[in-house]
Structure 1
Amino acid sequence: MAESNQAGEKQFAIQKIYTKDISFETPNSPKIFTLKWEPALDLNLGTHVESLENSMFEVALSITVTVKLAESIAYLVEIKQAGIFTISGFSEQEMGPMLGSFCPNVLFPYAREVISDLVNKGGFPQLILAPVNFDALYMQHLQQNQQNQQGAEAKTLN
């Protein structure tokens, strides 16, 4: 494998997928179970990338789900689903989408399963998160960074 890698062959491998951090809270139980179930869901996503050795990277997908009934929090789930990936032979321009979109896309089904299990074990109706378009989120992140840079440059010119 090392020889083909030196020739510039692109390599992607999943080394390990694991739950790095997890939290489930029901701050208003048992009272919350007596209320009519008309939930409002708030979902927050984030990623963190750490470079390891030998073309290995840890990518962590952070998901926070807050479900409310009226103004009361029914439950709060926080999870960091992580993976160690070997990625080599990709250009700098390709590495951003690999780490910012492709790897989180690999991790998301694992996180979704853990969240669904926690919610169910917490006594609530099943929660299945809809698929996430990580390509679009990554592009949105790049555009936002570009706008922030342009705004900072405009401030220094004034």
Structure 2
Amino acid sequence: MTDTTAAPEGAQDDNAAAQSGIRIMAQFIRDFSFESPLAPDSLRSGTAQPAIDMGVEMNARGRTDGLFEVDLKLSARATRDDQPVFHVEVVYGGLFHIAGVAEAALEEVLLIECPRFLFPFARRVIADITSEGGFPPFLIDPIDFGGVYAARKAQAESVVIGNA
């Protein structure tokens, strides 16, 4: 009989899983802009709903300390009758520690999974500032970052093939 107890079956797998994954080390607003050039006239409710033009960009870069910086850029431009109502743009960043991810999957983790973590916070910033600007809060619908990534990758590949 020994004084030590054996680790439960699967404990090593749990340890390995605890070492892998995505950790957010910090979140921050890197850049932010809100414009309502025709206020207060643009605040009056017109009969027409404004047309909204949305933009989404994701960027990532490695750092010398082994962490990764990921930026999620969201922009929304609202117009009514060809007149600007508001324009908001936020670059919301995160500092991530990523472990246990295969090199082949790292780009997808950085440009799909990390923006999914950042999105609710960037969405809240936009909702808050549009509300403070005198408009109803602009709540951005959930974004399919996998679809955005796939579309951008396909577009980049078609440019490379087109230039060949």
- The TM-score range, normalised by the shorter chain, is 0.7 to 0.9
Q: Counterpart in 2 of 1:100?
A: 111
- Is structure 2 residue 120 aligned with structure 1 residue 109? yes
Tell me the distance in 2 between the aligned counterparts of 1:92 and 1:150.
Answer: 25
Aligned amino acid, residue 31 of structure 2:
D
Other-structure match for 1:79: 90
Distance 1:142 1:88 in 2: 24
The CA deviation at 1:30 is 1.4
Match for residue 140 of structure 1 among 129, 138, 151: 151
Once the two structures are superposed, residues 54-81 of structure 1 have per-residue CA deviations (whole angstroms, 9 ceiling, x without a partner) of 3201101111110111111111101010
How far residue 42 of structure 1 moved from its aligned partner, in angstroms, is 0.6
SS of the aligned residue for 1:146 comes to helix
Q: Give the equivalent residue in structure 1 for 2:32.
A: 22
Partner deviation per Cα, 1:77-130 (whole Å, 9 max, x = no partner): 010100000113322221011011111111111000000000000000121110
| Equivalent position of 1:156 in the other structure | none
Preserved contact between residue 66 and residue 77 of structure 1 (Cα < 8 Å): yes
* Superposition deviation, residue 35 in structure 1: 4.9
In 2, the alpha carbon distance for the partners of 1:10 and 1:55 equals 14
- The secondary structure found in structure 2 opposite 1:105 is helix
* Alpha-carbon separation, structure 2, partners of 1:67 and 1:20: 22
Structure 2 residue identity aligned to 1:26:
S
The whole-number CA distance in structure 2 between the counterparts of 1:12 and 1:70 is 45
Q: 1:62 aligns with which of 73, 92, 95?
A: 73
CA contact (8 A) 1:49 1:58 kept: yes
Aligned-pair identity (%): 28
Write the distance in 2 (CA, Å) between the matches of 1:92 and 1:144: 22
The secondary structure found in structure 2 opposite 1:29 is coil
Q: Residue 138 of structure 1 aligns to which amino acid in structure 2? A: Y
> C-alpha root-mean-square deviation of aligned residues, in Å?
1.6
Gaps of at least 5 residues in structure 1 are 154-158
C-alpha separation between the residues in 1 aligned to 2:72 and 2:44? 33
